[in-house]
Structure 1
Amino acid sequence: MTSDADRRPGFELSDAQWREKLTPEEYAVLRQAGTERPFVGEYTDTKTTGEYHCRACDALLFTSTEKFESHCGWPSFFDPAESDAVILRPDDSLGMRRVEVLCANCHSHLGHVFEGEGYPTPTDQRYCINSISLRLVPAP
């Protein structure tokens, strides 16, 4: 995981191009750091084997191997597919301290990562990711 949020994205579009490429709902989450409602995302409960790519730029972010059931209302992963797939940055919005997760390739908002919640995962982390930020590519 890269913590260098100042790093330039490898995939860049103008705001107008992002608005054309994404639906209004995708744009609100991916480009404006919104959050979809809990328990409504298409990948919250899926158990399909495959890869989860960024819906904005198609970069590989997570795999089904790292996905686990946290019952929090959003898809949860204990680690990204590759260590440099995401960027982590402090998020002090909403009057609380959190860590935002961004796609390292296009800097789109994915969700947040939490630690120390006691889940029985190898990393003790929960990447709480908006389904609308992802596109599942099922394994062949």
Structure 2
Amino acid sequence: MYKNIIFGLCLVFIGCKGNSQKKETAGQTAPKKEQRFSVVKTEAEWQKELTEAEFYVLRKAATENPFSSDLLENKEEGTYVCAACGTELFKSSTKFKSGTGWPSFYEEIKGNVAYDVDYKIGYKRTEEHCATCGGHLGHVFEDGPEPTGLRHCVNGVALDFVPAKKD
């Protein structure tokens, strides 16, 4: 009888697996929701329209080298738009110097930036992309300044800058 009790207890202990033991790893990916974008083109069409660097960042989710973007030190007033489709993404008034080597913003233009989960480097990150064409922009981190506390770390090659109109 003791053997049966001990055997039963062993099964209970072995079979217990709490949620606290679950870890998200690079091999685990959440099922991607199918997203529909208003601007849809074939890979060949994108390659014709974009530079090689723009194509690899926007369409293949690559990352440009840090400190390589001409937009990093841009202090002009205006709007940062998607280099692929021209959608307005960030206002210059929300840009700040993060020291990371990529243009950084604490707030996006609502409705024009979409988000997804990315596990490419071994842990969960929030990826951001253009809500109009799906172009990869960069990632969002929770270490930015007030008022949002967010840092939209964006590949400069994914952006074009449109200066504000002067009266």
Q: Same fold (TM over 0.5)?
A: yes
Deviations for 1:85-128, whole angstroms, at most 9, x for unmatched residues? 1111000111121110010000000000001x2x4321000000
Q: Which runs of 5+ in 2 are unaligned?
A: 1-31
Larger Rg: 2
Q: Per-residue deviation at 1:65?
A: 1.1
| Superposition TM-score, scaled by structure 2 size | 0.77
Whole-Å Cα distance in 1 between the matches of residues 53 and 76 of structure 2? Answer: 24
Distance of aligned partners of 1:69 and 1:107 in 2 relative to their CA distance in 1, 3 Å threshold: same
One-letter amino acid matched to 2:122: G
Does the 8 Å CA contact 2:140/2:153 hold for their aligned counterparts? yes
| Residue 85 of structure 2 corresponds to residue 94 of structure 1 | no
Q: Which runs of 5+ in 1 are unaligned?
A: none
Whole-Å Cα distance in 2 between the matches of residues 33 and 77 of structure 1? Answer: 19
Number of equivalent positions: 134
Whole-Å Cα distance in 2 between the matches of residues 5 and 65 of structure 1? Answer: 32
Higher share in strand: 1
Whole-Å Cα distance in 2 between the matches of residues 92 and 7 of structure 1? Answer: 18
Higher RCO structure, 1 or 2 (CA under 8 Å, sep 6+): 1
Higher share in helix: 2
One-letter amino acid matched to 2:151: R
Whole-Å Cα distance in 2 between the matches of residues 105 and 8 of structure 1? Answer: 9
SS at match of 2:134: coil
Deviations for 1:21-73, whole angstroms, at most 9, x for unmatched residues? 01111100000000000011011111111000000000000010111111110
Q: Per-residue deviation at 1:5?
A: 5.6
One-letter amino acid matched to 1:69: K
Whole-Å Cα distance in 2 between the matches of residues 125 and 36 of structure 1? Answer: 21
Whole-Å Cα distance in 2 between the matches of residues 41 and 61 of structure 1? Answer: 17
Q: Which runs of 4+ in 1 moved over 6 A?
A: none
**Structure-2 residue corresponding to 1:127:** 152
Whole-Å Cα distance in 2 between the matches of residues 20 and 120 of structure 1? Answer: 38
Find the partner of 2:63 among 16, 35, 40: 35
